Amino acid sequence: MARRALGHATLTLVQAVETALADSDRCLLVACSGGPDSLALAQAVVHVGRRRQLPIAAVVVDHGLQAGSAEQAAAASSSLARMGFTQVSVRPVEVIDSGAGPEGDARTARYRALELEAGERGGATVLLGHTRDDQAETVLLGLARGSGIRSLAGMAVRNGPDGRWLRPLLGIGRKVTEQACRENGLKPWQDPHNLDPAYARVRVRRTVLPMLEAELGPGVADALARTAMLARDDADLLDALAAEADPGTAALDCLQLESLPPALRRRMLARWLRLEHGLGDLSAGHLFAVDALLTDWHGQSGVDLPGGVRVRRANGGLHLG
């Protein structure tokens, strides 16, 4: 029997997945919450996997953060099985309070589970259902934090260990994934957390972006997504230049750093703090305070950073202790 022709939205998602894949992607693992974005992505992956004769699998992460989460994870698993996935895993995780906030802690637990699942499947490529709207929200949140160009770069289409995380839908709006669900008779789950204004991302999604669209005209989400792409190119270049200039020493030479342009100097400081002491999530205030040890040195005793780390200037160098 002939297969039913794909609807316009579904075809758009299939083409996006096809375009994003590389020859090194030998096994496709869809991370599915049961929401419209990840369900629509999973449906597209079924078509791509069949055409390319690639093994496909799916994983549902149960964060256990609300009543009925196990039942919802089981329902998502059943939807995936009906869709054509023969290998579906449900991974319960424990979300540990690390001080990063509920969203950050849940994300940490989720990515750890996805990495374990991908490893058990021979290093599968993990496909994530983030859309252009998610990218626009991420850029606005980064802008509000004021933490530099890297935070404006949003999410990469591909990143993570060995390029394992793949986000093929970053150029596609959420309305398309919702339409794809309707075309395929899929009944997505609506996470109640996505309606809770206690979360900053929800306020951006439901209040800030609609207000910007109303006041500035349509296309704001598209413009923010383009901003992310341009900012990522700039941030990647600065990261590469900082890596080339890195002396590879435990202490940094103050005179050498002072001669560098501010953007490169601060990128080198951020790289040094990350590599030497794992400080990857510094605020702009912390970074400026360390930079002042070079540009506004008047005998300060040092700068205290998270985790009990202290940066001090002594003998013409910056030292961590």
Determine if residue 296 is labeled as part of a ligand binding site.
no
Residues 46 and 48: their CA atoms lie apart, in Å, by 6
Residue pair 41/131 in contact by the 8 Å Cβ criterion: no
Tell me: is residue 185 an annotated ligand-binding position: no
Query: Quick one: CA torsion of 105, 106, 107, 108, rounded to 10 degrees?
Result: 50
Q: Is 78 annotated as a binding residue?
A: no
316 belongs to an annotated ligand binding site: no
> Which residue has tokens 């579904």?
10
Judge whether 222 is annotated as a binding position.
Answer: no
CB atoms within 10 A of CB 46: 20
Tell me if 36 is assigned to a ligand binding site.
Answer: yes
Binding-site residue ranges: 33-38
Binding-site residue ranges for ATP: 33-38
